[in-house]
Chain A
Amino acid sequence: MADLVKLFNITARDFAKAGESSLQIQSLLKSIGFEPDLIRRISICAYEAEMNAVMHGGDGELLLTVDPKNIVLEVSDDGPGIKDVELALREGYSTATPEHREMGFGAGMGLPNINKNADSLAINSLDGRGTHLRIKFKVGDS
């Protein structure tokens, strides 16, 4: 049984298109028929991760893998990386620029929100060498 694998590109600072991938992921998961609450949690994480990459990250990729037991989002970008991961996971901590804030972003809720909604989150980031997020969701009670 082949898993469903789909790759999305993320363009740095392209705010006009930002959110498109999350929307596509949402509609894909909807047509497969996963339960709405799971889809909502995945969409939130996809959106936050996508926005983080668009705002801070530089160009990147979002890879969706779906199998009957797990749904995994892998988001990687070649941006500056996260200096202090523990700090970045704290609600309200933000490195957003005034420009981001003017657009309504930068409340410091991105990573905390992902952490809250995912079943597991692994952050791999080195200062100056980009960020890789692996966000995992369990399907059903399995």
Chain B
Amino acid sequence: MTETADNTELVHYVQIDESLCNGCVLCMKVCPTKAIRVKEGKVARIEGVCIDCWECVRVCPKGAIKAITSDTFDLTEKDNIIVSPSTVLYSQFGQDVLPNDVLLGLKRMGFGYIHDQSYTSEIFNLAIELYIKENREKPNSPLPFISPVCPVVVGLIAYRFPSLLRHIPPLVTPREIVAREGKARLSAKHGREPEEFKVLHITPCPSKMICLKESILQKRSFLDAAIGINSVYEELKNNIKDVEEDIVLHHSGGIGLSWGMSGGEISGLDLHCLAIPGLQETIHYLEKIEMGLLGDIDYVEFRACSEGCLGGPFTVMDKYQGKRNLQKLVRMFGVEKRIKYGYVKKLYEKGWFFTDKSQVPGGEELPQLTSSEISRAIEKQNRIEEILRLLPRKECGACGCPDCSTFAEDVVDGKDSLQSCVFWEGQKKKLGIAGKGRDYPNVA
């Protein structure tokens, strides 16, 4: 069995197949970390930090961007596997299939232990509420707090908005609580080591596989593997049967079930909250928060995918149909809070919900720049601005950079030259700087 969590080498699941890529710029344009370049009009290459958001895979018309979806996780010894599916799984089989039917289907597939993650999500809701009520009134409290649940959003914050890392409460996500507690309970029950049990997460989200290997908010992930909903779908569907069984595996109410949709996480919170789905909107609102806006909001649920996790790439059902199915389940099970507050409060006070990592990367104080470093940075920025004034600002991407300002920066850094701009020759004439023997400005 592969110890994925111990594999410290970070392998990104997004890879570009050079034989299929025709060098169009769509992936480069959507990449939120501006990690992709298409130099010399050939193939796209990932040069920067990938946060596994999947936007490039979704947009590629050639199917050239691929993902390694099947982990080398051994599924033959299912007895020792605790399987914990994302709530989204319940929405994938039509309106008449209930969560318990889906979980029984997993049992029939041979998995030793099944855990209903949506129940843990309801417990987590109360913990978030406790944390925010305890912390929001403190001086310099980083409002709004930001949900730690979506791994793409956490990666985006760590890479592009590090000053906002302190807005993420140091709480462990429901999927991780399931894994940690599942192992601990089985180990106590059977007198075996917790490591002998493996936790498999069934997910709509490719980023979950990455965060097992490089967890930003924890020392290490308690999950052993994650597989896409689409890779178990057929087998599971064949195991979902319309027969009466006395085993109850599903425990959550409507609040836990709504977690698969945008707005689901905050639906059970008695706080001043917003739910913002979609990567572009997420970036837009993170910028606002970084500007000090939205300070009157307690908590923001960001999800990188539109419609929330239902829009994840590894789903089978169309996201809007999935939403309809989940909405029906939410109505059926009701939205009253079922978890006992006193019970969660005790766990909370014991530290049960808190992450083992005291300092998240980037959360520490950044070293202050010295005066001469600032001077150099200002000078560089001035050169970038100077080049930008020379460019026609078509933002076309034909140079191979995602936008004109990234191109200007690459030119200043000596990684590219103004010749790469397809408008440059015409622009020289227009600006009256043609035929000067060399390109203006001299940026070397």
Contacts and interface: CB of A to CB of B under 8 A. Distances in A.
Do the two chains bind?
A: yes
Interface of A: 1-4, 6, 22-23, 26, 28, 31-37, 39-41, 43-44, 47, 66-69, 139-140, 142
Contacts of A22: 291
B18 to A, nearest CB: 31
Contacts of A36: 162-163, 290, 366
Contacts of B371: 68-69, 140, 142
Contacts, number: 68
Contacts of A31: 377, 381, 409
A38 B12 CA distance: 34
Given A1-B379, A4-B382, A43-B292, A33 B374 contact: yes
Given A47-B291, A47-B293, 10 more contacts: A2-B382, A4-B378, A4-B382, A26-B291, A31-B377, A40-B290, A43-B290, A44-B291, A47-B292, A68-B372
Interface of B: 162-163, 287, 290-293, 366, 368-369, 371-375, 377-379, 381-382, 385, 409
Contact of A33 (B290, B292, B369, B372): B369
Nearest to B373: A33
26 contacts: A1-B375, A1-B379, A3-B378, A4-B378, A4-B382, A22-B291, A23-B287, A32-B377, A32-B381, A33-B369, A33-B374, A35-B369, A36-B162, A36-B366, A39-B290, A40-B163, A40-B290, A40-B291, A41-B292, A43-B291, A43-B292, A47-B291, A66-B381, A67-B378, A68-B375, A140-B368
Contact of A35 (B366, B381, B385): B366
Contacts of A39: 163, 290
A2 B290 CA distance: 28
A47 B289 CA distance: 12
B55 to A, nearest CB: 20
Query: Which of the listed residues B290, B291, B371, B372 has the most CB atoms from chain A within 10 Å of its own CB?
Result: B291
B442 to A, nearest CB: 16
Contact of B292 (A34, A44, A66): A44
A34 B385 contact: no
B255 to A, nearest CB: 29
A35 B293 contact: no
A43 B161 CA distance: 14
A40 B288 CA distance: 10
Contacts of A2: 379, 382
A106 B409 CA distance: 39
A43 B295 CA distance: 14
Nearest to A46: B291
Contacts of B374: 32-34, 68, 139
A37 B373 CA distance: 18
A25 to B, nearest CB: 9
A72 to B, nearest CB: 13
A44 B291 CA distance: 6
Contacts of B375: 1, 68
B359 to A, nearest CB: 16
Given A2-B379, A68-B378, A23 B369 contact: no
Given A6-B385, A68-B378, A26 B366 contact: no
A32 B368 CA distance: 12
Query: Which of the listed residues B292, B293, B377 has the most CB atoms from chain A within 10 Å of its own CB?
Result: B292
Nearest to A140: B368
Contacts of B369: 33-35, 140
